[in-house]
Amino acid sequence: MRYSALKVFKEAMTGHKGWEPVWREPEPKAEYDVIVIGGGGHGLATAYYLAKEFGITNVAVLEKGWIGGGNVGRNTTIIRSNYLLPGNTPFYELSMKLWENLEQDFNYNAMVSQRGVMNLYHSDAQRDAYVRRGNAMIMAGVDAELLNREQLQKECPFLDFDNARFPIMGALAQRRGGSVRHDAVAWGYARGADSRGVDIIQNCEVNGFVMDKGVCKGVTTNRGTIKAKKIAVCVAGSSGKVMSYAGMRLPIESHVLQAFVSEGLKPVIPGVLTFGAGHFYVSQSDKGGLVFGGDIDGYNTYAQRGNLPVVEDVCEGGMALMPMIGRARLLRMWGGVMDMSMDGSPFIDKTGIDGLYFNGGWCYGGFKATPASGFCYAHLIAKDQPHEFAQELRLDRFMRGHLIDEKGVGAQPNLH
């Protein structure tokens, strides 16, 4: 079934009786070519690109709960590719290009809205750093634009420009950044993968790997043992737990990031705004809610909830940036568990165990990377060679000393 305006019109005329389930609910087979562990955005995207780009359709996606119930349902839906370092920029730009054609590609409305991302600066030094970042982006083929105070004031008159402590001097804008309807990303990829023959198996929790002479040959689950030639782990947030079944220690700690939504308001914020003097970022959803967040809580946790000091810190950041936010009432808040890596950058790599592949360490930047992560991971699984834009995202980079540390804070995951 293809979605189109004509189809919507036809269904409206015939009482909406012709809509079908978007994916099947198959029983797991005994063996597959590839098993993807984790039915989140990245796992479903991996299965989709495996089937579509690399012709591997005998694939199962195993999900312990329901698909899209993890971090793809718990983020702040922002997409951008404003990275500085060579290992990151081409990868995130590939992701941005995939976002731009995503809806046509998988025939599903993901509400990709390129309304712009603005990183505010508050001092001369910070402006210089943003000029450098902007130039690095432009050299890598990404769009970047430096706005001064007057230009920014025209677009965002509501900001507290004359804040006594952190006056706003301007912003680095990426106009192609924006936001996406997060659930639709998971559903669209699931539908696209399913229609090409991928089995999406929900309520199927992996609790071990089948190892034979050092080669990974399958997984044990609460629904029995399933064999496969290649097993691809894609469970950011729970990577430490799942990889411990294979006896692996990772350069990753699990941390919680909280996010918040206000009640629905009429349109007040044009794009995505980030505060440069504290950790606070905000955008407005299509339903009108202000979606905002800040720092991670800072201690290891697998609980999908945080503590109050960070809530206070985030709200203080919001008040310092745009005092009008104090009039909005908070509707919901939640926490998502992040794979915080040792340099703030992710991994798409082989594991050293034959047949076992790893994708994780996305810190709090996993959502924007979803299409490129799926694409590059599928490339790695299909060809056993890293994609050219993901070849720096390796597990052994700490051993080699080739870190991709955007913030330059060292091996301290709660500071990235």
- Rounded CA-CA distance 224/202 in Å is 13
- Rounded CA-CA distance 269/290 in Å is 8
Which residue, 289 or 413, is less far from other proteins as judged by CB?
413
* Interface with other proteins in residues 330-389 (CB under 8 A): 342
Does 206 contact other proteins by CB under 8 A?
Answer: no
Does 411 contact other proteins by CB under 8 A?
Answer: yes
Q: Are 45 and 370 in contact (CB under 8 A)?
A: yes
Which residue from 202, 264, 298, 328 is in contact with other proteins, where contact means CB under 8 A? 298
- Rounded CA-CA distance 250/11 in Å is 50
Both tokens of 87, joined, read 């290992």
Does 409 contact other proteins by CB under 8 A?
Answer: no
Closest distance to other proteins from the beta carbon of 326 (Å) = 22
Does 215 contact other proteins by CB under 8 A?
Answer: no
Does 302 contact other proteins by CB under 8 A?
Answer: yes
In sequence order, the 6+-apart residues with CB closer than 8 A to the CB of 331 are: 261, 262, 263, 289
Closest distance to other proteins from the beta carbon of 190 (Å) = 26
In sequence order, the 6+-apart residues with CB closer than 8 A to the CB of 389 are: 90, 91, 94, 372, 376
Three-class SS state of 125: helix
Task: Provide the b/e sequence for 164-196 (b: ≥16 CB within 10 Å).
Answer: eebebbbbbbbebbbbbbbbbbbbbbbbbbbbb
By CB under 8 A, which span of 15-23, 54-62, 134-142, 234-242 interacts with other proteins? Answer: 234-242
Does 307 contact other proteins by CB under 8 A?
Answer: yes
Closest distance to other proteins from the beta carbon of 264 (Å) = 32
Interface with other proteins (CB under 8 A), residue total 25
Which residue, 148 or 300, is less far from other proteins as judged by CB?
300
- Tokens 């081409």 belong to residue: 90
Tell me, residue by residue from 240 to 259, as one string, x for binding to other proteins by CB under 8 A and - for no binding: xx--x----xxxxxx-----
Does 414 contact other proteins by CB under 8 A?
Answer: yes
Residues contributing to the site for other proteins (CB under 8 A): 238, 240-241, 244, 249-254, 298-303, 307, 309, 342, 398-399, 411-414
